[in-house]
Structure 1
Amino acid sequence: MSVGAPRGLASSGQKPITEILHPLSAAEEPISPGPDVTVNVGGEKEAVLTNGTPVETSSPASASSLFNRLQLDDDLEADARDPYASMETRDLFVTVDDPKKHVSTMETYITYRVSTKTTRIEFDLPEYSVRRRYQDFDWLRIKLEDSQPTHLIPPLPEKFVMKGVVDRFSEEFVETRMKALDKFLKRVADHPVLSFNPHLNAFLSAKDLNKRQGLALLTKVGESVKHVAGGYKLRARPAEFCAMGEYLDTFSQKLGTIDRIAQRILKEQSEYLTELREYGTVYSSWAASEEELRRPLEGVAGCVTTCCGALEDLSENMSQDFLPVLREYVLYIESMKNVLRKRDQSQAEYEGRLEAAILRKQEDRTPMPIEVEKCQDKVECFNADLKADWERWQSNKRQDFKQLLTGMADKNINHYEKCQAAWESLITLLQDKQTEDKTSETN
């Protein structure tokens, strides 16, 4: 069972405990395929849900067909299923901003202001403002993983950067990290279970965060996950979780390819920008020695300068907005795979205990041990929590990538519009110059 689940959890869209502990079979509880149906090469229909989860049929959806179901349009029906997507139902608001650099004899580090507004009775005050550094966020994530092993914990931006490549105290890097930390904390605060975790409460409200607090806190679910009985090998992962794993593998490959190409484009844009600036300077110096061609040459130099500024804005958007989202989802995939592995370990423990209990029952007819039933409950809780988090993750992913791709399109349009306007103004200047020359010749 989920640890730290709040009152009224049924409203979060998760199954009631009676249904979790005693699930119906696939034949008794069929999953409706909905409106989305794909047809494979052989002509057979293959039902697929829009969030990447296959319908439980004899032939589960392939990873490629799952990946192709990424929807960029507004999925209002999917969002409506998550009451936490509405601002009206939220009662915990967090913001990360105001980075400050601290220099001491021992170390140099950055802290961020974490502001909280809430109406929850678990908090003593309606508003808080504390300062936290990266390692405090890392502490929180570790605590969430330990105390909520059945849930997907949002990823943090990576701690270390390559030496000599990125200055971790530069304004650009600090701004990018601050946005990532803000997104991490908002995702946790919006989660119907994680947001009630006592470690999050301490992180948001305590002036001096005691990181030793709760070091011994590890749920029984977490303990059983880490210590699988007898190294039992999992028989078979259920079809829907197999499809999740395949989807994550394919999605990871696609994101990796896009990231590598985007990095190369960014590098080439940087090199091109350097050449373009030098190109404009040549026209400016040329104009100084050619009085008759001064205006046209200065016009060309001005066009090149405008194009430089437009390209600089485009590159900045790619490095600060586009690439960080790709990297976040690469880390998100690893987090999801980690939860899947824990689920598999929990299932393996249950199967191992069940087989051992069946053997003992055949030998001396002893009743089924209560530990077996507890293990089954843990597996069902894992399944229910993972499915709910999967749907929430898919909804967030649709919104994030729609915003990301729309923003990228707008930035590219803006870039080319600036360049086009600059060169069109040069044509007007040249035409005016030509008219002036003809008039002077006539006179």
Structure 2
Amino acid sequence: MEITVTDAHREKEGSADSYISYQINTKTNMPGFSAASVSVRRRFQDFVWFHDALSREHPEAVLPSLPDKHRLRGYVRGDRFSQEFVEKRRASLERFMKKIAVHPTLQASKNTRIFLDSRDWNSDLAQQKKQTDDARLDNITDVLMNAFKMVKKPEERFVIMKDEVDKLEENLQGLEKLEQRILKRQEELEADYREFGGAVAGLGALETGITEPLHRFAHTVASFATILNNLSSREDAEFLSELHECLAYCNSVKNVLRQRDQKQLDFEDLSDKLQQKHAERDRLMSNGRLGGSATIGGFFQQKMSELKGVDQERAKQDKIKRVEEDIKQLGNLVDTHLNESTQFSEATAKEYEIFQLQKAKDLRQCLLDYSAGRVEFFEKGEALWGQIIPALEAIQVDDD
């Protein structure tokens, strides 16, 4: 499966409901698609639904991130239709879709096929939303129930995974902060160059004998400030955005690890309840009195029952029977949750391997793009300064 996101287009321009749609082009031999090559148009909110749908369908999957609309500069300025903002978002959405395309589970998802191939999108989207509303509420309830509990017997491999992701996240955050400082310095340097160029141009007005070469020098300085601005814009659009996506990818891994812990917590809670029921049955069977209690309260409870004419042995057997029924039900639940926890754990381990491979590819490409941008900047800078040197050397200086 190969996917590209192209041709961002503003829909309903001039109205309050205006939005940007993107063309998604897919080439695939996956079953279920209407053709080997399909193209559809989707807006950003459709991508959001697609991401959420994949998360519900495959909770064990480490999902790549969508661009954060509140982080991009275009949203901060309120200019979400600017060319810069739209291109940033298009590039981020394409990176998102390319990760989906190479993921062995997500590329085969029914939601992926619907998102990439539906010709009646509004109808299909409404139907899918209706089917998932109840599942979403159930999932929220489960998460809230054990939000503050800790796994009693954590598996070492998942502890190691979390530590690795935490360290990676910390390093990426440090790298992101440093790049932000570099961009701020470059912005200040750009302003200084423009001021410097203006000062040289002013000098040219005074030095009438060399006005032209000084004005050319001032123009060169202004052009250099422009390519410095282009470098900063490129690094903001590519390098910083890719770093932010890597951080969000780390958070996705941590979310899956938390869900795995949730599965284990469910198993541990049910196992504890089962042990309690076994202990309760053992106490009943080892003691001839109702409830198996040797306390003063138990003694008075037994006497009250005798006064009421309760058959102690029958009451005891009835209670043992109820406890054994509870043990049977809990035993089935324990087996079910153990199986679910084991399957989710193995799926998590596989997802972590996919994450490691994708992370290496992302970082490699991220640094390659950064290096290419720097090389292009210095090459343009060298050409600019090289062109002004002959003009400066041609200035006639009277040695006398």
Q: What interval of TM-score do these two structures reach, taking the shorter chain for normalisation?
A: 0.7 to 0.9
Q: Counterpart of 2:268 in structure 1: which amino acid?
A: E
The 2-side partners of 1:371 and 1:228 are apart by 17
Q: Which runs of 5+ in 2 are unaligned?
A: 282-319
Task: Provide the residue aligned with 1:13 in structure 2.
Answer: none
Helix, strand or coil at the partner of 1:212: helix
Task: Provide the residue aligned with 1:21 in structure 2.
Answer: none
Check conservation: 1:303, 1:423, Cα contact below 8 A.
yes
The 2-side partners of 1:116 and 1:233 are apart by 43
The 2-side partners of 1:198 and 1:339 are apart by 21
Task: Provide the residue aligned with 2:250 in structure 1.
Answer: 333
Greater C-alpha radius of gyration: 2
Shift of 1:396: 1.5
Q: Matched residues, percent identical?
A: 29
Q: TM-score, normalised by structure 2?
A: 0.77
Q: Do residues 404 (structure 1) and 353 (structure 2) align? A: no
CA offsets 1:234-286 (integer angstroms, 9 cap, x no match): 20321221122222222222222322232232233223323322322332344
The 1-side partners of 2:147 and 2:365 are apart by 48
Task: Provide the residue aligned with 2:186 in structure 1.
Answer: 269
Check conservation: 2:5, 2:23, Cα contact below 8 A.
yes
Shift of 1:140: 0.8
Check conservation: 1:123, 1:201, Cα contact below 8 A.
yes
Report which of the two has the higher share of helix: 2
Correspondence 1:243-258 to 2 at 5 A? 243-258=160-175
Shift of 1:394: 1.4
Helix, strand or coil at the partner of 1:99: strand
State which of 331, 334, 337 in structure 2 corresponds to 1:369.
331
CA offsets 1:58-90 (integer angstroms, 9 cap, x no match): xxxxxxxxxxxxxxxxxxxxxxxxxxxxxxxxx
Shift of 1:143: 0.9
Correspondence 1:25-424 to 2 at 5 A? 92-102=1-11, 103=13, 105-161=15-71, 164-165=76-77, 167-207=79-119, 208-209=121-122, 210-214=124-128, 215-217=130-132, 218=135, 226=143, 233-361=150-278, 363=281, 369-424=331-386
Check conservation: 1:228, 1:349, Cα contact below 8 A.
no
Provide the aligned length of Structure 1 versus Structure 2.
347
Q: Identify the range of structure 1 (117-126 vs 146-155) with the bigger mean alpha-carbon deviation.
A: 117-126
Check conservation: 1:300, 1:426, Cα contact below 8 A.
yes
Check conservation: 2:146, 2:262, Cα contact below 8 A.
no
The 2-side partners of 1:423 and 1:106 are apart by 48
Helix, strand or coil at the partner of 2:209: coil
In structure 2, the CA distance between the partners of 1:277 and 1:352, relative to structure 1 (3 Å rule), is same
The 1-side partners of 2:149 and 2:362 are apart by 39
Check conservation: 2:151, 2:261, Cα contact below 8 A.
yes
The 2-side partners of 1:433 and 1:99 are apart by 51
Q: Identify the range of structure 1 (290-299 vs 357-366) with the bigger mean alpha-carbon deviation.
A: 357-366
Q: Counterpart of 1:211 in structure 2: which amino acid?
A: L
Check conservation: 1:229, 1:353, Cα contact below 8 A.
no
Q: Which runs of 5+ in 1 are unaligned?
A: 1-91
Q: Identify the range of structure 1 (360-369 vs 248-257) with the bigger mean alpha-carbon deviation.
A: 360-369
Q: TM-score, normalised by structure 1?
A: 0.70
The 1-side partners of 2:368 and 2:253 are apart by 26
Shift of 1:139: 0.6
Q: Identify the range of structure 1 (204-213 vs 422-431) with the bigger mean alpha-carbon deviation.
A: 422-431
Task: Provide the residue aligned with 2:315 in structure 1.
Answer: none
In structure 2, the CA distance between the partners of 1:361 and 1:397, relative to structure 1 (3 Å rule), is same
Check conservation: 2:20, 2:43, Cα contact below 8 A.
yes
Check conservation: 1:228, 1:348, Cα contact below 8 A.
no
Task: Provide the residue aligned with 1:31 in structure 2.
Answer: none
Check conservation: 1:224, 1:346, Cα contact below 8 A.
no
Q: What is the root-mean-square deviation in Å for CA atoms of aligned residues? A: 3.0
